[in-house]
Amino acid sequence: MSTNLKNVFEASNARDFTSNQLVNEFIWTESFSELLYSTKNQVVLGSRGSGKTALVKMLSHQNLRKLANKHLSSSDKQERNNISEAKTIIEQRSLVATYVPLKVEWVNSLENYENSKDKYFIWSLNLATCARLIDTAKSCIDAYVEDEVDAVLVQRNVCKNLSRLWTLPRLINNFQELRRELEILEYEKNLMFNKESMGLTLTNEEKVLGMAFHGNLFSPFTIATKQISSALNIPDNSKWVLCLDEAEFLSKEHHQILNTHMRSANDIFFKITTMPYRHHTLSTTVNANVNVGHDLEYIYIDKLGTINKNQKSSDKIIQEFATKLFVNRLRQFDSDSTKTLETLVGHSKLAQDTNELVTDEALLVMIENHCNEVTYTRAKKLYKENIKKFDDELARKIRGILLLRDEYHNRIGSTNTSLYSGVAIISRCSDGNPRRLFRLFNHLLNGSVEELNSILPSVQSKRIKSFSHSELEVIKFEKSGKRSYELIKAIGSFFKAKTLEEKLGSDLPQAIQIQHSVDERVWAAIKSAVDLGLLYPVVKKDSNERSLFPEMEGVFCLANCLAPHFNLFPRVGRAVSISTVMNSTKVIEQMELFENE
């Protein structure tokens, strides 16, 4: 069966995935295990497209159950183990999670109710969490009540009890109607809040509408979970989890409210997703901050959570992920396809760690041509005395960069490099960001509707450069994106000059260091770039510490997806101060960053 490839790798948001799509494409990562097994509240930090939504959505009972029942066609041992773990969790009823997206349009609508903002926030969030709990309850009944008649009678009891607890106008006996009732209630309450904000008098009937959801935040949800536990014999030590997605849209005050609950809640655990610099505060509405490591922990999932690992391990994990994601998506469209990413793009020359590509002797010549005197002298010495040391301490680090630079300097006319090609480089250039991976696959296929035939390295390179350029360009359309764009351009141009124009040392810079003295606008641009996955923090510390994302300090590397655009080798290099970058004569023209817009 031929595959119409036009839409196969259309980048999509897990928010819009059906349950089946999510389960079929889901790849179990270490971050997911951390979410699944932790007994703490967690804040999941990740840049756009890094997979936050997919992770917390998969935690939900209905999706985890689907995963537990997934039929495996491949012989992947790890995947079998993962499915078995999911099955155990479902069977033992040890975790019951509900997924709740915090939609931007809802958050925006809070602005319409100036005097009732907090009241509306609590009411709406209570209703939203309870509405989603219905899906969880349904999934639990499907999982734990075998007999069909018993299942419908349990549903009846649960629904009637929830109708009473939530003070609904009538007793409802099935989930479909309960869902509909909450939808109508939400609509009517919106009208009421509108009326109130216009200064109109409310009737008593309007005031008591959805009264139960005016209570304490998460109380209606919590009491409902107890009802469901009782009806389904879910043990007391089971974890009820509330997954709140896209909390970056909430304000600082809202985060304070959520922090307060994380500090005090015992009945439910929270998994909240947001962007790296958008957990706005650790303060609460009482006189104590939420304690990182005690009340909550951070999980940083960029680069598939490999930010603390060495380059080799990180590359391996990201490459495995990329190849699996390619196959999983392709099989949604053609279940019989045997094509893999490797058959499409082949191996990467740039990432090969052997001297098959260029001999040590030829490499020494390149070092002489492109490196500084100190480096060349060291190279000669090592080459003469200890070839293994030459390879370990120098050649391995510098081979890829030299190849790029050599090709750049020896290019004829407008010929393109073929070095940005192959599985390893493509995986690296994705930065382990799933949505970026889909965009990259799409660029590689270039809107083709033909069969999946292998793509020439030169063609791959051209398309990856085009992809890299588009990843940078798109930032201009973000809020305050122009500043971030200018900053990234400045940083990229600086490193490009260092890599391609100046004589190379053995420890090439390709990261920036921020000190407290950095301009606030520059800092804002950096945070924005991190949120969008164009800069990544270089983190060596324990991810549970607040210092994971310190304020106005840190080391940041350029996203690998930008490397082809700036003719760089995708890597983390030595850090240089941001002021060195900004003061460089090469980037003086980017000084408009500091001008008022």
Which parts of this chain interact with another protein (CB under 8 A)?
16, 18, 148-149, 152-153, 155-157, 173-174, 176
Give CA–CA dist 552/575, Å, rounded: 16
23 vs 122 by CB, closer to another protein? 23
Nearer to another protein, 141 or 296 (CB): 141
Which of these, 48, 12, 15, lies nearest to 528 by C-alpha position?
Answer: 48
Residue 530 CB, nearest distance to another protein (Å)?
30
Q: Counting Cβ atoms within 10 Å, is residue 437 exposed (0-12), middle (13-18) or buried (19+)?
A: buried
The owner of tokens 């999934």 is: 139
The residue (of 34 and 181) whose beta carbon lies closer to another protein is 181
Task: Compare residues 180 and 541 and give the one whose CB is closer to another protein.
Answer: 180
Query: Could you tell me the smallest distance in angstroms from the CB atom of residue 442 to another protein?
Result: 17
Q: How far is the CB of 157 from another protein (least distance, A)?
A: 8
Nearer Cβ to another protein, position 104 or 152?
152
Residue closer to another protein, measured from CB, 156 or 586: 156
Residue 428 beta carbon to another protein: minimum distance, rounded to whole angstroms: 31
**Which long-range contacts does 188-197 make (Cβ < 8 Å, 24+ apart)?**
189/123, 189/127, 190/109, 193/112, 193/113, 193/116, 193/120, 194/112, 194/113, 196/113, 196/115, 196/116, 197/112, 197/113, 197/114, 197/115, 197/116
User: Between 159 and 532, whose beta carbon lies closer to another protein?
Assistant: 159
Question: Which residue number, 400 or 434, has a Cβ lying nearer to another protein?
Answer: 434
**CA pair distance 568, 400, nearest whole angstrom:** 10
In the complex with another protein, the residue whose CB is nearer, 246 or 302, is 246
Q: For residue 500, which of 393, 417, 583 has the smallest C-alpha distance?
A: 417
Sheet with 554-558: list strands edge to edge: 535-537, 554-558, 509-514, 574-577
Q: How far is the CB of 78 from another protein (least distance, A)?
A: 29
C-beta of 104: minimal distance to another protein in Å? 18
**What is the C-alpha separation between 330 and 575, in angstroms, rounded?**
39
Minimum separation from the CB atom of position 478 to another protein (A): 25
Q: How many residues does the chain have?
A: 597
For another protein, the closer of residues 249 and 333 by Cβ is: 333
Nearest to 521 by CA among 484, 558, 491, 472: 484
Query: Is residue 296 helix, strand or coil?
Result: strand
Beta carbon nearer to another protein, 329 or 349: 329
Shortest Å distance, C-beta 539 to another protein: 36
Q: DSSP label at 395?
A: I
Q: State which residue, 106 or 333, has the beta carbon closest to another protein.
A: 333
Q: Output the smallest distance, CB 148 to another protein, in A.
A: 6
Exposed e or buried b for every residue in 116-130, given b needs 16+ CB within 10 A?
ebeebbbbbbbbbbb
Burial 549-569 (b: 16+ CB within 10 A, else e): beeeebbbbbbbbbbbbbbbb
The neighbouring-strand residues paired with 43 are 272, 298
Range 309-314 contact pairs with CB under 8 angstroms and sequence separation of 24 or more = 311/571, 311/572, 314/432
Question: What SS3 class is residue 231?
Answer: helix
Q: CB-wise, 152 or 374, nearer to another protein?
A: 152
Describe the crossing of helices 360-370 and 396-409 by its angle, rounded to 10 degrees: 60
What's 532's DSSP letter?
T
Which of 1/149 has CB closer to another protein? 149
CB of 6 to another protein, least distance (A): 13
Residue 201's SS3 state is coil
CB of 557 to another protein, least distance (A): 36
CA 160 to chain CA centroid, Å, is: 39
| 3-state DSSP assignment of residue 158 | helix
Per DSSP, the chain holds a count of helices (H) and strands (E) of 24, 9
One-letter amino acid at 92 equals Q
How far apart are the two ends of the chain, measured CA to CA in Å? Answer: 55
CB of 120 to another protein, least distance (A): 28
Q: Are 95 and 239 in contact (CB under 8 A)?
A: yes
| CB count in 10 Å sphere of residue 170 | 8
Q: Is 49 or 457 the residue whose CB approaches another protein more closely?
A: 49
* Smallest distance, another protein to C-beta of residue 99, A: 17
Quote the least distance from Cβ 159 to another protein, whole Å: 10
